[in-house]
Structure 1
Amino acid sequence: MSKTYGIGEFAKRIGRSVQTVRRWEREGKLTAKRRPSGHRYFDESDVRAMLGGAPEKRLTVVYCRVSHVGQKDDLESQVKALEAYCLAGAIPVDEWIKEVGSAMHFKRKRFLDLLDRISRGEIARVLIAHKDRLVRFGFDLIEHLALEQGCEIVVVNQESLSPEREMVEDLLAIVHTFRGRMYEIRKYEKQIKDDYPDSLEPKGLLS
């Protein structure tokens, strides 16, 4: 008798997440068998069909990033440190991604391409030196979405590869943005006072 699997066992057997298997069912890419009780199950024929039909092996990718072209030395330091980490852990790497762009901006070409490939189930693992090498804010959300597609994000936590000056520049950019918005609000408040000089003194918008 052929061995059967519940959805969790089946997902592990084919190297995908339970959420991915459920999505494939909804999309019609996979049809689960049903027991008399109505519970779904899979067997070895389903495993062979999914593994045999996989377009390519899922990749292990290393992603390295700095904010400015002037930080190329920092970029190479990331590459060397992660290379040493992978060699020490006997981790085979299929692809190395190096990118220059602020962690504050999500519209980085290679970063977005990586996210697209994760969503298509092409990436099994992404290694980064530190969380902020991927994004300054929102790492937990991206990690959650990656796990939904069966992709693990490995944070090596190389603190020395997370330049303090870059974080300072990002924080200054945030302060500058909010200062600009406060200036616009004050202009708007002044315009109201100028347009309605006889009205009651409005309460300050920023008070």
Structure 2
Amino acid sequence: MNRYISIGEAAQLLGVSVSTLRRWDREGKVSSVRTSGNQRRYDLDVLLPHRVRQKTDCRKTLAYARVSSHDQKEDLERQKQVLELYCAHQGWTFEVISDLGSGMNYHKKGLKRLLNEILDGCVARLVVTHKDRLLRFGAELVFAICEAKNVSVVILNSGEDTTFEEDLAKDVLEIITVFSARLYGLRSRKNQKLLEGVKKAVEEAQQC
């Protein structure tokens, strides 16, 4: 059986003023019925989802760290420490998820888990040191999913990632390696020479 409450009780339940609730009613954000005396009454079962959406303390904060290769493990630990210190300082209940893999790889174990938890509605906010730590290309899609699921995104450093060039070079080398394996199967010396030349150029640029 539905339980209807007064506008004062509803405003207190939602943590807003009576005037705000009246405005929400006019804008169609909440619905009410009228008594015979023309007083607003609100269905408690309808209002509860609004209260749930506003309370995020039952959802956790996920922090995400990533590097491209094993020789960047020190940077991975540094990212994790920065994320842990920041989240702890904010007083959030948090968990750090980390990945070791290319920013062009959409199938990393940690990234999959991160997206699944966001889609399941378990996450209140996502924290990263840089946008590129999520994905080299496609981070905006993850942010769009976060917006749709009411997940706040916190980027600690919105400037240029200091390891961008190094990571990008490693990602390009990984792509070359994949295509090399496929083209070598064709036993084309022309293809082999072409790929080896590109790989050498990337490695030389990486050392500059």
Give the TM interval when normalised to the shorter protein: 0.5 to 0.7
Corresponding residue for residue 150 of structure 1: 150
Correspondence 1:109-188 to 2 at 5 A: 109-157=109-157, 159=160, 162-173=163-174
Distance (whole Å) between structure 2 residues aligned to residue 77 and residue 141 of structure 1: 26
Q: Which residue of 1 aligns with 2:192?
A: none
TM-score normalised per structure 2: 0.58
Q: Deviation at 1:94?
A: 1.9
Whole-Å separation in 1 of the counterparts to 2:42 and 2:120: 22
Paired letter, 1:152: S
Question: Where does the alignment leave 5 or more consecutive residues of structure 2 unmatched?
Answer: 1-5, 17-29, 35-40, 189-208
Deviations 1:148-181 (A, max 9, x none): 0111221111756645311222244457778999
2:129 and 2:170 map into 1 onto residues whose CA distance is 19
Give, as a single letter, the amino acid of the residue that structure 2 aligns with 1:76.
Answer: E
Q: In structure 2, what residue type is equivalent to 1:66? A: V
Q: 1:162 to 1:121 in 2, by over 3 A?
A: farther
Compared CA separation, residues 154 and 170, structure 1 to 2 (3 A): same
Higher relative contact order (CA 8 A, sep 6+): 1
Question: Compared with structure 1, are the counterparts of its residues 34 and 2 closer, same or farther at alpha carbon in structure 2 (3 Å cutoff)?
Answer: closer
For residue 129 of structure 1, report the CA deviation from its aligned partner.
0.7
Q: CA deviation at 1:47?
A: 3.7
The 5 A counterparts of 1:33-182 are 43-48=43-48, 57-88=58-89, 90-157=90-157, 159=160, 162-173=163-174
Equivalent-residue separation in structure 2 for 1:94 and 1:144 (angstroms)? 21
Distance 1:94 1:83 in 2: 8
* Identity of matched residues, %: 31
Q: Could you tell me which runs of 5 or more consecutive residues in structure 1 were left unpaired when the two chains were aligned.
A: 14-31, 188-207
Q: Deviations over 1:110-164 (max 9, x none)?
A: 2111111111111110100111110110111210111101112211117566453
Q: Which has the higher mean CA deviation after the structures are superposed, 171-180 or 135-144?
A: 171-180
Provide the aligned length of Structure 1 versus Structure 2.
156
TM-score, normalized by length of structure 1? 0.58
Q: 1:44 to 1:122 in 2, by over 3 A?
A: same
Give the CA RMSD over aligned residues. 3.9
